[in-house]
């Protein structure tokens, strides 16, 4: 009795497995068949055979149809003398579909429309003679992404989600430059004016506000520790891959004209920018000109308030008298309007975000530069537009 029960269970399990396999095979064979015979690329130059093969591969990837092999199509076309080239109309597709004995026919087109590329697909029900699915989408006129555009429209045709970031880069003018919407760019050039304000702290701020008689720059009118600056940014994006760009920036600036001063400076920056968000970070050396002097600090209150003490220049009569009274006093160097003009070096750090309006870039950055005489920090804004430089195609 026990053996009979065991054999019965084994037979039942065997039958269930075979039924499931049969159901799976039946479901596979129940997929509607579909064929691709031509694709209209007359208004946008593409290799016809490559496009057809790509469509076949994509339909297999999508997995909703039993895709007719292109070699079977070629064989039947030769045997029955079927003209497949130029078959885009409903009448032609229905006729060819019946001869090929498939349930569906798919056709499409890609064409240039001004500054856009339009991709269209249609699926014909051969028995009913009607297009049951249709989809079209316009893309930016970007060379080298034709197959990616075709995939996006096919996914939409069959309700398959697309990568939103990829779609945005191929369809929105407001997207930042990247290796997708500028596939043949060796270097992207974004040049334009920059302006903003720089703020000083520490010794630098104190000297700037001090009267000229004490080595400052106020001229008796009361300067502030902030100055306006303007210049021009020359930018090269020497790497442009994926979501990031590597940048080199050359930024000459003039500072202090609002206070009657002329302070030229040059910045050499290396940085990186995110193609998706526009956030960027850069750093590099700064070279500027400034007056520095050596001397002794005579401040009875022993504070860093330069308005209450005096900086005695080395070699002056006041300095000699000060040394006699203070033989252990140490000489120091500081910014001073009475000193000699020198080239001043520093290291600048900057961060910010680039906003996009059409083809116009709007960068907004903050920066700071540490120094032994106090920190300098500021805000810089500007605008620029891209200049395209094409890669050599040899």
**Do 319 and 223 share a structural domain?**
yes
Question: What CATH number is attached to the domain comprising 141?
Answer: 3.40.50.10610
Q: Tokens standing for 39?
A: 């694709």
> Where does residue 251 rank: exposed (0-12), middle (13-18), buried (19+ CB within 10 A)?
buried
Residue 21 domain-assigned?
no
Which pLDDT value is given to residue 304?
Answer: 54
> 0.85 exceeded by the pTM?
no
**Do 229 and 369 share a structural domain?**
yes
**Do 371 and 305 share a structural domain?**
yes
Number of domains in the chain: 2
Residue 6 domain-assigned?
no
Residue 134 domain-assigned?
yes
> Could you read off the pLDDT of 292-334 as tens digits, one per residue?
999 888 876 655 555 567 888 888 888 888 888 888 888 888 8
> Could you read off the pLDDT of 23-38 as tens digits, one per residue?
545 445 588 999 999 8
Residue ranges of the chain whose pLDDT lies below 50: 22, 24, 26-27, 184-188, 220-222, 388-394
**Do 199 and 139 share a structural domain?**
no
**Do 227 and 131 share a structural domain?**
no
**Do 159 and 225 share a structural domain?**
no
**Do 204 and 295 share a structural domain?**
yes
Print the domain residue range for 232.
188-387
Question: What CATH number is attached to the domain comprising 383?
Answer: 2.40.160.20
């Amino acid at each position: 009795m026990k053996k009979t029960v065991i054999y019965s269970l084994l037979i039942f399990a065997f039958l269930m497995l075979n039924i499931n396999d049969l159901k799976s095979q039946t479901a596979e064979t129940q997929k509607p068949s579909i064929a691709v015979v031509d694709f209209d690329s007359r208004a946008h130059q593409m290799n016809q055979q490559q496009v057809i093969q790509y469509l076949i591969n994509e339909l297999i990837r999508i997995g909703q149809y039993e895709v007719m092999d292109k070699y079977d199509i070629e064989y039947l076309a030769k045997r029955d003398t079927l003209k497949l080239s130029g078959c885009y109309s409903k009448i032609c597709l229905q006729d060819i579909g019946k001869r090929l004995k498939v349930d569906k026919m798919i056709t499409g087109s890609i064409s240039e429309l001004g500054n856009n590329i339009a991709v269209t697909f249609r699926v014909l029900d051969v028995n009913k003679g009607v297009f049951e699915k249709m989809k079209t989408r316009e893309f930016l006129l970007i060379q080298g992404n034709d197959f990616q555009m075709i995939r996006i429209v096919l996914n939409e045709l069959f309700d398959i989600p697309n990568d939103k970031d990829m779609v945005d880069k191929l369809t929105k003018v407001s997207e930042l430059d990247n290796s997708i919407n500028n596939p043949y760019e060796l270097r992207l050039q974004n040049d334009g004016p920059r302006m903003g304000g720089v703020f000083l702290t520490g010794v630098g701020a104190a000297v700037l506000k001090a009267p000229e008689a004490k080595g400052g720059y106020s001229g008796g009118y009361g300067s502030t520790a902030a100055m306006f600056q303007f210049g021009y940014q020359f930018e090269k994006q020497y790497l442009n891959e994926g979501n990031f760009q590597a940048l080199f920036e050359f930024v000459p600036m003039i500072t202090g004209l609002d206070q009657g001063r002329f302070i030229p400076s040059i910045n050499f920056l290396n940085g990186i920018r995110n193609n998706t968000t526009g956030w960027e970070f850069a750093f590099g050396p700064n070279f500027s000109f400034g007056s520095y002097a050596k001397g002794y600090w005579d401040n009875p209150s022993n504070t860093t308030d330069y308005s209450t003490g005096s900086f005695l220049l080395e070699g002056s009569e006041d300095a000699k008298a000060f040394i006699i009274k203070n033989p252990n006093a140490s000489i120091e160097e500081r910014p001073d309007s009475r000193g000699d003009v020198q080239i001043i070096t520093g290291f600048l750090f900057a961060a910010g975000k680039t906003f996009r309006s059409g083809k116009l870039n709007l960068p907004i950055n903050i920066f700071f530069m540490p120094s032994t005489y106090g920190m300098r920090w500021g805000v810089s804004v500007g605008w620029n537009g891209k200049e395209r430089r094409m890669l050599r195609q040899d």
